[in-house]
Structure 1
Amino acid sequence: MGDGEAFGWPGLSLGWASAAKQGVGTSTTATSRVWFTLAQGVVTEVYYPRVDTPCTRDLQLLVTDGSSFFHEERRHLQHHVELIDPRALAYRLINTDQDGRYRIVKRVITDPDADVVLVHHRLEPLQVERLPRLYVLLAPRIAGQGSGNFAHVATHRGHDMLLACRDDVFLALTASCPFSRRSCGFVGASDGWTDLHSDYCMNWAFDSASDGNVALTGELELSDGAEFVLALGFGRTAEAAMDAAVASLAKGYAEVERQYVAGWREYCASLEDLSQQSGDSGRLYYRSAMVLRAHEDKTFRGAFVASLSIPWGETVHDASAGGYHLVWPRDLVQIAGACLAMDDGQAALRALKYLESTQDPATGGWAQNFWLDGRPFWRGVQLDEIAMPIVLAWRLHRVGVLDHDPYLTMVRPAALLLARVGPVTPQERWEENTGYSPATLAVGVTALLCAAEFAALHDEGDLAHYLRDVADTWASHIEDWTFTRCGELVPGHATHYERIALVQPASLDHAGAECRVLQPIANVAGGRRVSQCCIVDGGFLELVRYGVRAADGPHVLATLPVYDELLRVGTPCGPVWRRYNHDGYGEKADGTPYDGTGVGRAWPLLTGERGHYELAAGRDPAPYLRAMECFANEGGLLPEQVWDTADIPARGLSLGRGTGAATPLAWAHAEYIKLCRSRRDSQVFDLIPEVHERYVRNRTRSDLVICKFNHKVRAIRTDQRLRLEVHAPAELHWTRDGWTSVHHEPMTEVAPRTGIYVREFPPGSFTPGRPLEFTFYWPQEGRWEGRNFVIAVL
């Protein structure tokens, strides 16, 4: 018997592990529902039973000679990571004492047949004859929560066990060697770290620690040598978790590793080989492919999370534990596109089916991001995230991968929502501001055209015509809505696309009015409001990516020098770009973590976006591929952000290397894969031929102006078509001569079951200087609108 219940309840609430992951892994099998991450030389968050559910903070060794030193593997040793096999997410971690006395070599995998993480250890003496003592320390965070965990010791089938649980999720830690001493404790009070740190000896042996922030500690009995295996098993009962751990140990580490590696090698062999397009003989290409596969769930197939990390995790506690292990429709479609690029069409199809299953039937859209079961985490509305699934469906149709018809159930309602809400997006792709966004408009136009193609295939000619009309209208007004002629950012370059416009530049005079339209920026200290004509990002390049604008279009060419002057950063790896000027999403100037405010840092995925633009412009994107390869860390993972100024060694920040934001970022890996494919094809992989044909080759433009409650029009020219649009049955009451003559007529539904009603006026319907005045009667409610609207005629 041990010392009973530990003292110090409930224990300290600590942050998560570093988001700067050195590795991520899982098996390729669906039977193993466990994922591991690596950072600072140790196993960090382990996810079970879904890829959105972390169950541990970290699993590491504590090292002491019992008298003169105490080392925590994560903090005190020098770390190196490498892949055991270049085409498998199996890792070798080499952690070395800074004084050169010993080295710990670890191999990390999962059991393809079980919910078990296996870590093979070898302790190597370097300058000492007597090996130090080793202690394993595990910090459970079951179901993503530090509080409310229960821990106890047990013995199962001859194996010493350390167990933890919360609700119906259990984990069991055991070893191939015995534990000479075990203890459960509360973090910061009675845990093993606190015990050993005080006098280099393990004095406590508590049997349990209940309903708090707990830690598990075991002293390893290494009488038979310096090699051992830790098995971390999971299950819905304590017995299931213990059975799984013991069974995996019984198979032998070498055999399990062989099976694990074979599964990954088989997957890599099934992909399109794009190695020749890379600058590193395919090293990052195959690692990127595996990283994307490792971000897919095994219960909710097709659900890929954005990252197996929690940005600046050490500062994040349970209350905001969503991190990046959530589904963003935008990131998911980027990943699906990369799967198509490497000839894994079935993975892309799974992603589409998952999107169909999580679409809101009431609106036709998706939440900003959500847990795997579809529960929203953030509830913002982003029109690009409504548009991109439509584009994915069309791409799958074009390449013959679709095995079902998504039009009526997914494409049609999403397209109608997009047309109703747009062109102004409540949030753009950086998830912060509302307005007219070049990036959102690019994919919005593309999605409307793709949906029109689907509608035509389903003999819905009227709806196809309506969707094309809306697409043409948006495409024709992109510059009116987002291109300024009074920019003040770079001398000699007053014209450029804006990041996002709250008010249409074309509707403002050019005597400074636009510069008084301010966009809020919340992620900088104290908040800030900046003129919309003084904020630039790279979103305009999406117009070229999809085929809405030509690479040599005058507005694109006018913006490039402004974008580069403000946001391009030179690094030893090559160029990289920040999201937008005035951005605050990144470490602070002194390198301390982002805490809601900071300084926006550079994003490697934007190097990939620029590479795609250069290819569209007829230039070789190889320099941008090489830069992205260089941005990857030693584990082959691409970060969300890299440090973009002078090094701060004390915080581990170096120019061109990853920061404390998310690593890996699946979107960045997807961008790299697509750039490899684009280079091979000599064409941007995401370009939609129907879009490019319509707007670049045929230069289709529209004279239509659409006026609706969420997009009012102040004036039209006599040579323009005017469409009044509402989203419920209505009767239009209108005049064009000051109510001398009055017209009253029902509005027409654009197509059956759309809920969109219009009245269109052809060019020449109005006289300059005599405005259109109108109001609505709502027959279903039996009421008048109660106010009049006026559109001037120029």
Structure 2
Amino acid sequence: MGASAIAAPVPLAGTASAAGQSGTRSGAATAAGEAPGGPGKDARFDPADKVGFGTARGERSLAWFTLQGGRMSETYYPDLSTPASRHTELVVTDGRTFVQRVGQADTRTELVGHGGAPRYRQTSQGEGWCAVTHYVTDPERSSVVIDVEVRSQNGTPLQVYVLHDPALSGDGNDDEAYPQDGALVARDKNAASALLAEDGFAESTVGYLGVNDGWTELSENDGRLKNHYATAGPGNIVQLGRLRMDGRSRTRQTVVLGFGKRADDAVKTARRSLRSGFHASAHSYDAGWTAYLATLPQPPACLRTPGDRALYTASVVTLAASEDKKNPGAFIASPSMPWDFGSRHVVPETGPYHLVWPRDQYQIGTGLLAAGDRAAAGRALDYMLRTQLPDGHWPQNCKVDGEPFWTNIQLDETAAPMLLAWLLDRHDDSTLEQLERAADFILGYESEEGYKAPYTQQERWEEQSGYSPATIASVIAGLVCLADLLDRGGQGSKVAKYLEAADKWQESVEKWTVTTNGPDSDEPYYLRLTKNGKPNSGKKYELGNNSETPVDQRTVVDAGFLELVRLGVKAADDPVVLNSLDVVDRKIAVDTPSGRHWYRYTGDGYGEQPNGEQWTVNRPEVKTTHGRLWPIFAGERGEYELLRGDRRSAAGRLRDMARTASETLTLPEQVWDERPPVPREKPGTATASATPLAWTHAQYLRLARSLEHGAPVEFPSVVAERYVRR
């Protein structure tokens, strides 16, 4: 669809506004003609350290928004695997001496929704002006509603613009734009958006990113628009509209970003939301979340401060908001695209964090189960059962509609549904039949190198094949849980082969993964993994993530062996476990102002470059990246400490996790360590990794509820009864 195929545009200034006004305003510039210079610069998405993530609780609104810096960053429509825009922000100018994007101003973002609703206020301080914006989605339809207030602080009249960068269907390089019925419309072959202002736009333009987009025009011309283009595309188009406000006599407007399958639908959606108004939408938005939270138990009594209880509630809301509405039970990992995942350099699409991963699905399901939302945990399991592949295993990840994205085999992900089913006591015939297929796949798995299960093509960090203590723990526990479910379902005659394999692997896990001659201790300790099942062999492998030198497998440790304890396969006071804890604390733990946190493993490179620039791979100019510290490991250690009876230490781990939260209570994937770019960045604070990370929020919920219970709430006691308490 080229611009030539679009009907002649209606001049914005001369159309009826959403408020019912008509006629050309004094000083309004009519947009006309097609913007030259396409297709514009390649689209990439905003940084991943979000300070806000919101959507209405109901199913009618298929729109989600995120906030980053002082602006609205990615929106999603019509599902959580599909970004619909890159960012939407205000631009403020006096038309002579300055022009400033709100995203460049000092901004404070606050969580202001009643009863825990994910509603936000951003207050930005610029050059002689102050802007306050509030965000919700309309619970009745697919739109984001923004309340905009801008005031001049020195009496100078201001001009306030809305700058919008569409990226419909997750691809910002193929959009077209034109005005329609007072709205700035963008569309591609699958979807459309409509940007509408309460009193209409006084002037507008559309252009190509980095060529003649509205920001480029304003910044190069002292806050004035010299060109007013009406249409553009296909390409990476950016839309700009000036609000009818001057910061003095007129200071407030409502702006709506509506979505639809076609342009007409998007315009109607935006107009209806505008007619309802911001306050009505905000009231309904808050009420929906308040009603949902009222169905759940109160936060655990161990959370004694209002801040701790607020973080608990925010974690519940974050997980609930991460569920796709068109595909119930599909929970994404994070509404973000960290580092080079925001471009198409690493993967051809914008994934992979807004995809569904069986591992994260298990974490989220157990987190919601700990919070009391058993129905959501059940939907998570049902979704996994719907997306099981014919041979019995699950894809590495998939889009929310179930389409596989990456297809590597991770045996822990195939075991995860068995563990979640056991916690939910699901032993109906249909569920058991599917779980049996999964178990049979595990038992019959053989790698291309000729290694048999529990060797896995990828372990839980998705970067290596081998014998992984964490993976082996998952498959042992999964098989034992399945055997118990079969017994409960009256199919006890089928359990022998599963228990036989589980017993054999439980007896062999140290043989495959514990070294007795490694350099980090004179006593036996667990390795991150072995490539050959021979932990004393000194086999070398490449870590990946810009690591250029192969490493001896005996020198790489992680805390994955704790899964053996947390899943009941090994005792908490097992001597090899205790010695391995000492090793990992010496090798990969860092004490920060936010408490003690751990790296994923020795030499991890999945994180920012030493100067703080983004992680990327396969670029010759990037030689080194550093994986930073993960708050989830404080939670996993806390669950282990509960199993040892050390409730005080476990409570300290929960506090350490809480200290990594942002002011708006988002929990990150990673926090800074003591290496550069410190001191510019403070150790223990969030990096630009995926934030909020659903796994981190789920881990926080589980540990909080576990402290109340005095033991981990996800602990499969049937496994411990077989191997630890016998």
Give the TM-score of the pair, scaled to structure 1: 0.83
- Report the 3-state secondary structure (helix = DSSP H, G, I; strand = E; otherwise coil) of the residue aligned with 1:521: coil
Which amino acid letter does the alignment assign opposite residue 144 of structure 2?
V
State the partner residue of 1:662: 690
State the partner residue of 2:227: 204
Counterparts of residues 675-686 of structure 1 (less than 5 Å): 675-686=703-714
Distance 2:99 2:41 in 1: 21
State the partner residue of 2:699: 671
CA displacement at 1:408 relative to structure 2: 4.1
Cα deviation, 1:308-328, whole Å, max 9, x if unaligned, reads 000126862483411300000
Relative CO higher for 1 or 2, CA cutoff 8 Å, sep ≥ 6? 2
State the partner residue of 2:575: 554
Distance 2:546 2:529 in 1: 18
Distance 1:325 1:679 in 2: 31
The question of 1:222 aligning with 2:245 is answered yes
C-alpha contact (below 8 Å) 1:274/1:680 kept by paired residues? no
Distance 1:314 1:504 in 2: 33
Counterparts of residues 353-432 of structure 1 (less than 5 Å): 353-361=382-390, 363-397=391-425, 402=426, 404-421=428-445, 422-432=453-463
State the partner residue of 1:754: none
The question of 1:446 aligning with 2:477 is answered yes
Unaligned runs of 5+ in 2: 1-10, 12-30, 446-452, 618-623
Question: 1:207/1:403 Cα in 2 relative to 1: closer, same or farther (>3 Å)?
Answer: farther
Identical columns (%): 37
Distance 1:270 1:313 in 2: 40
Distance 1:297 1:405 in 2: 27
Question: 1:405/1:173 Cα in 2 relative to 1: closer, same or farther (>3 Å)?
Answer: farther
CA displacement at 1:455 relative to structure 2: 2.8
CA displacement at 1:85 relative to structure 2: 3.1
Counterparts of residues 539-688 of structure 1 (less than 5 Å): 539-596=560-617, 598-620=625-647, 621-646=650-675, 648=677, 653-688=681-716
C-alpha contact (below 8 Å) 1:195/1:203 kept by paired residues? yes
Counterparts of residues 265-344 of structure 1 (less than 5 Å): 265-278=290-303, 280-281=305-306, 282-312=309-339, 316-317=343-344, 319-344=348-373
State the partner residue of 1:3: 32
**Which of 203, 207, 227 is the aligned partner of 1:185?**
207
Question: 1:257/1:405 Cα in 2 relative to 1: closer, same or farther (>3 Å)?
Answer: farther
Distance 2:33 2:144 in 1: 29
CA displacement at 1:518 relative to structure 2: 1.2
Distance 2:340 2:611 in 1: 18
**Which of 366, 379, 387 is the aligned partner of 1:350?**
379
CA displacement at 1:523 relative to structure 2: 0.9
The question of 1:259 aligning with 2:284 is answered yes
Distance 2:255 2:433 in 1: 48
Distance 2:188 2:567 in 1: 47
Which amino acid letter does the alignment assign opposite residue 451 of structure 1?
L
C-alpha contact (below 8 Å) 1:45/1:54 kept by paired residues? yes
C-alpha contact (below 8 Å) 1:18/1:313 kept by paired residues? no
- Report the 3-state secondary structure (helix = DSSP H, G, I; strand = E; otherwise coil) of the residue aligned with 1:591: coil
CA displacement at 1:474 relative to structure 2: 0.6
Distance 1:353 1:554 in 2: 39
State the partner residue of 1:87: 116
Which amino acid letter does the alignment assign opposite residue 91 of structure 1?
Y
Counterparts of residues 459-608 of structure 1 (less than 5 Å): 459-489=490-520, 492-505=521-534, 514-515=537-538, 517-525=539-547, 527-596=548-617, 598-608=625-635
State the partner residue of 2:266: 241
Structure with more strand by fraction: 1
CA displacement at 1:251 relative to structure 2: 1.1
Distance 1:606 1:679 in 2: 16
Distance 2:523 2:117 in 1: 51
Paired residues in the alignment total 675
Distance 1:454 1:613 in 2: 25
Distance 1:675 1:274 in 2: 12
Return the index of the structure with the highest Cα Rg: 1
Question: 1:534/1:647 Cα in 2 relative to 1: closer, same or farther (>3 Å)?
Answer: closer
CA displacement at 1:616 relative to structure 2: 1.0
C-alpha contact (below 8 Å) 2:562/2:640 kept by paired residues? yes
Counterparts of residues 729-740 of structure 1 (less than 5 Å): none
Cα deviation, 1:737-786, whole Å, max 9, x if unaligned, reads xxxxxxxxxxxxxxxxxxxxxxxxxxxxxxxxxxxxxxxxxxxxxxxxxx
CA displacement at 1:3 relative to structure 2: 2.8
The question of 1:105 aligning with 2:132 is answered yes
Give the TM-score of the pair, scaled to structure 2: 0.90
- Report the 3-state secondary structure (helix = DSSP H, G, I; strand = E; otherwise coil) of the residue aligned with 1:296: coil
Cα deviation, 1:109-128, whole Å, max 9, x if unaligned, reads 000000010110111333x1
Distance 1:568 1:471 in 2: 32
Cα deviation, 1:224-276, whole Å, max 9, x if unaligned, reads 62011110000112111111111111112111101100111111221122242
C-alpha contact (below 8 Å) 1:17/1:314 kept by paired residues? no
Question: 1:313/1:32 Cα in 2 relative to 1: closer, same or farther (>3 Å)?
Answer: farther
- Report the 3-state secondary structure (helix = DSSP H, G, I; strand = E; otherwise coil) of the residue aligned with 1:377: coil
Cα deviation, 1:72-130, whole Å, max 9, x if unaligned, reads 11124444333333511000111111x5x22111110000000010110111333x112
CA displacement at 1:457 relative to structure 2: 3.7
CA displacement at 1:546 relative to structure 2: 1.0
CA displacement at 1:461 relative to structure 2: 4.0
